[in-house]
């Protein structure tokens, strides 16, 4: 089989796999509120953004890449590129520093962002560039999308991926916590990396009424910016696990000591979420007592308020009895 025939076979396989992925995302209900995202996921070829990726195997990772000389390996690469799973794309000293997020989670986040025609959008965490391409396709104007990542090798690769797919949003190399002030104000900010608090620069660079959607702890926080320096919102009900936001001297959070906490709580995802939100503001034993008394609250019962230079998380009501400072502030 000649090279051109093989390339066509791979293109056909990619199209079929992309169509199947879109059906899978649609069945999950991810974009029920904004079906225009279906068109974006149908149009943007994910495999162009992951020319190689790593899959976990016993003892480490296996690299899959599209330029492999072995045809079955290339087919496996294409199929994997359209699986509804996150893909590890950058490792440094054995540590994951960048990935392509699970497409159905990306679809839900994009739908929840509430993008409207003409919105100026800032993405924190460029990664492969795939999410920026989806945004550029949805908005129909590359200039409305700005995306930032810390590492030059990541942003350089993302520019190449985006150009190959026919998109040219502004890709900035820098600390995402500082935003991109020269492109402000933004109507929407979306982050694809997890944080322990919301950087003040993001809120400051938003127009009134803007929406910020960001992973925080192991949840997804949706904030509405009220006016300068003020924002408030709740977590979605879904869990979300992302690579941490990295920057100048940004420390990794230390795990809380859980001696004396029953194992059923220590191993419970929702209890650990509460601990992450209240680290430093609530003793783990107090957190356990609260968690049991309040019926093991789900993520969507928590929210965050940003005001007067402070940042607080709360349970059920921002003016209620359960309010704590976020640990990253």
With a pLDDT cut of 70, the percent of the chain lying above it is: 92
Q: What are phi and psi of 131, to 5 degrees?
A: -65, -40
Q: Contact, 110 vs 134, CB < 8 A?
A: yes
pLDDT tens-digit map of 202-238: 999 999 999 999 999 999 999 999 988 899 999 999 9
**pLDDT tens per residue, range 286-299:** 999 999 999 999 99
* CA nearest neighbour of 268 among 294, 292, 235: 292
Residue predicted with more confidence, 85 or 228: 85
pLDDT, residue 5, reads: 45
pLDDT band at 64 (very low <50, low <70, confident <90, very high): very high
- The region that residue 29 occupies, defined by phi over 0 for left and psi between -120 and 50 for alpha, beta otherwise, is left
The percent of residues in the chain predicted with pLDDT above 90, rounded, is: 71
Distance CA 226, CA 206 (A): 10
Q: By three-state DSSP, how is residue 133 classified?
A: helix
Report residue 250's pLDDT band, with 50, 70 and 90 as the boundaries. Answer: low
The CB density around residue 327, as the number of other CB atoms within 10 Å, is: 21
The larger pLDDT score, comparing residue 57 to residue 41, is at 41
pLDDT of residue 327: 79
Model pLDDT, residue 252: 56
Q: Please state the rounded mean pLDDT for residues 68-84.
A: 93
Among the listed residues 98, 99, 100, 101, the single catalytic one is: 98
**Distance between CA atoms of 295 and 292, rounded to whole angstroms?**
5
Q: How far is CA 87 from CA 53, 63, 134, 261, in A?
A: 6, 11, 17, 34
**C-alpha distances out from residue 189 to 5, 43, 69, Å:** 43, 23, 41
**Is residue 100 among the annotated active site residues?**
no
Q: For the residues 5-20, what does the mean pLDDT come to?
A: 85
Closest CA to 211 of 191, 190, 192, 196: 190
pTM for the structure as a whole:
0.92
Strands 145-149 and 121-124: parallel
Which pLDDT score is estimated for 259?
Answer: 75
| Residue 308 pLDDT | 87
In this structure, what DSSP letter does residue 269 have? H
Question: Which residue carries 């019926």 as its tokens?
Answer: 295
pLDDT, greater one: 275 or 253: 275
Stronger pLDDT, 22 or 283, i.e. the higher one? 22
Exposed/middle/buried for residue 204 (C-beta within 10 Å: 0-12, 13-18, 19+): middle
DSSP designation for 244 = B
pLDDT at 280: 66
Residue 91 pLDDT grade (very low, low, confident, very high; cuts 50, 70, 90): confident
Burial of 61 (0-12, 13-18, 19+ CB in 10 A): middle
Which tokens hold the place of 7?
A: 């390339």
Please, what CATH class does the domain formed by 3-235 belong to? alpha beta
pLDDT at residue 3 in the model: 39
Residue 244 is predicted with a pLDDT of 85
* Averaged pLDDT of the chain: 90
pLDDT in tens, 127-164: 999 999 999 999 999 999 999 999 999 999 999 999 99
Number of continuous H segments (helices) and E segments (strands) in the chain = 10, 14
- Domain ranges in the chain are 3-235, 263-325
Average pLDDT estimate for 60-78: 89
Nearest to 87, CA basis, from 111, 71, 105, 109: 105
41 pLDDT higher than 60: yes
Q: Considering only residues 213 and 267, tell me which one the structure prediction assigns the higher pLDDT.
A: 213
| pLDDT tens-digit map of 110-124 | 999 999 999 999 999
């Amino acid at each position: 089989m000649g090279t051109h025939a093989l390339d066509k076979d791979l293109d056909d396989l990619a199209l079929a796999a992309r169509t199947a992925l879109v059906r899978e995302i649609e069945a999950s209900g991810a974009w029920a509120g904004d079906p225009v995202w279906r068109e974006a996921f149908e149009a943007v070829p994910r495999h162009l953004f992951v020319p190689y990726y790593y899959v976990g195997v016993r003892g480490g990772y296996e690299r899959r890449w599209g330029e492999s000389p072995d045809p079955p390996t290339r087919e496996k690469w294409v199929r994997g590129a359209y699986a509804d799973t996150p893909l590890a794309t950058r490792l440094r000293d054995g540590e994951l520093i960048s990935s392509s997020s699970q497409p159905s989670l990306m679809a839900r986040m994009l739908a929840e962002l509430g993008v409207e025609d003409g919105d100026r959008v800032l993405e924190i965490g460029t990664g492969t560039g795939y999410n920026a391409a989806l945004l550029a396709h949805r908005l129909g104007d590359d200039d409305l999308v700005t995306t930032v990542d810390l590492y030059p090798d990541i942003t350089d690769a993302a520019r190449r991926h985006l150009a190959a797919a026919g998109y040219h949003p502004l890709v900035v190399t820098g600390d995402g916590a500082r935003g991109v002030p020269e492109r402000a104000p933004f109507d929407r900010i979306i982050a694809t990396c997890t944080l322990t608090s919301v950087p003040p620069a993001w809120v400051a660079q938003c127009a009134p009424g803007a929406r910020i959607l960001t992973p925080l702890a192991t949840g997804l926080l949706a904030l509405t910016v009220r006016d300068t320096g003020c924002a408030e919102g709740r977590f979605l009900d879904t869990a979300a696990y992302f690579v941490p936001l990295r920057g100048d001297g940004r420390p990794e959070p230390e795990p809380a000591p859980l001696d004396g906490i029953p194992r059923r709580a220590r191993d419970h995802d929702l209890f650990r979420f509460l601990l992450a939100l209240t680290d430093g503001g609530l003793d783990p034993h107090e957190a356990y007592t609260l968690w049991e008394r309040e019926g093991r609250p789900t993520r969507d019962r928590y929210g965050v308020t940003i005001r007067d230079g402070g940042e607080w998380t709360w349970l059920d009501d921002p003016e209620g009895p359960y309010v704590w400072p976020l640990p990253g502030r």
